[in-house]
């Protein structure tokens, strides 16, 4: 077996273990919050922790394609869907923790908060975009929508990335704590920039040069 084949086999073997292990942060955060072990404000720590994991997993999801193309290992492609679903799961738990612990599970309170605080409205819009992406992540949706429409729909992940950064930036503005937001935004900018360059280069190669 060549080095490349061995590496691809290892990546394939690791995937189910990594995806299963991603349940651990959620279990720890919820357990620590319910046991009042997350500091002076466990509700805020839980909401923030789940949001941070959603952001990190979004970065990991967007990194799959560049990683696959950089290494030439096709087996990385199988990581994108489960990472995307974990991103949605942590985002959903982030929203649930906010609605339950911060707003007392009252829909009217959530609606009022969305109207009063722009970063909450942006967060809700971001989650609204994630719902159809998660719902159409399976192979049957590709066949039902058609490959072109499915790809067009899933390009909304770029909008999601921009809105997530805006959501976190506004959220941290009150405490002027921007370090992790800048780091995440920089990673997402690099990943989206890579896609932009790849799209431009592919388009340029397809367009025939004009005769001189």
Q: What is the mean pLDDT of residues 17-22?
A: 92
- pLDDT number for residue 133: 93
Answer whether residue 211 is part of any domain: no
Q: What is the pLDDT of residue 177?
A: 67
Is 170 a member of any domain? yes
What pLDDT is recorded for position 212?
45
pLDDT of residue 40: 83
Residue 212 lies in a domain: no
Is residue 16 included in any domain, yes or no?
Answer: yes
Domain-embedded: residue 210: no
pTM of the model: 0.87
- Are 161 and 58 in contact, with CB atoms under 8 Å apart? yes
Per-residue pLDDT, averaged over 12-27, amounts to 91
Counting the structural domains of the chain, the total is 1
Which domain covers residue 26, as residue numbers? 3-205
Higher pLDDT among residues 129 and 198, named by residue: 129
pLDDT in tens, 112-159: 999 999 889 999 999 999 999 999 988 888 889 888 888 888 888 888
Percent of the chain scoring above 70 in pLDDT = 92
- Identify the pLDDT of residue 134: 93
Greater confidence (90 vs 204) lies with 90
Per-residue model confidence (pLDDT) at position 197: 76
According to the model, what pLDDT value does residue 39 have?
A: 81
- Model confidence over 160-176: pLDDT tens digits? 988 998 888 888 776 66
Q: Can you give the pLDDT at residue 207?
A: 57
Residue 76 confidence (pLDDT): 85
Reported confidence tier of residue 73, pLDDT bands at 50, 70, 90: confident
- pLDDT the model gives residue 208: 56
Q: Which pLDDT score is estimated for 181? A: 76
């Amino acid at each position: 077996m060549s080095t490349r084949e061995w590496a691809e086999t290892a990546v394939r073997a690791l995937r189910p273990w990594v995806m299963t292990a991603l349940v651990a942060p959620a279990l720890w955060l919820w357990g620590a919050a319910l046991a009042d072990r997350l500091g002076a404000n466990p509700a805020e720590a839980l909401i923030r922790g789940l949001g941070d994991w959603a952001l990190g997993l979004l970065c990991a999801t967007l990194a799959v394609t560049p990683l696959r193309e950089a290494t030439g290992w096709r087996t990385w492609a199988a990581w994108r869907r489960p990472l995307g679903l974990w991103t949605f799961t942590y985002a959903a738990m982030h929203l649930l923790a906010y609605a339950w612990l911060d707003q007392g599970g009252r829909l009217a309170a959530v609606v009022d908060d969305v109207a009063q605080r722009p970063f909450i409205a942006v967060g809700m819009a971001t989650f609204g975009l994630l719902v159809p992406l998660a719902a159409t992540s399976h192979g049957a949706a590709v066949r039902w929508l058609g490959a072109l429409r499915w790809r067009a729909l899933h390009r909304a992940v770029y909008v999601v990335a921009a809105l997530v950064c805006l959501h976190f930036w506004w959220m941290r503005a009150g405490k002027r704590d921007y370090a992790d937001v800048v780091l995440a935004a920089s990673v997402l900018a690099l990943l989206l920039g890579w896609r932009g360059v790849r799209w431009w280069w592919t388009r340029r190669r397809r367009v025939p040069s004009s005769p001189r």
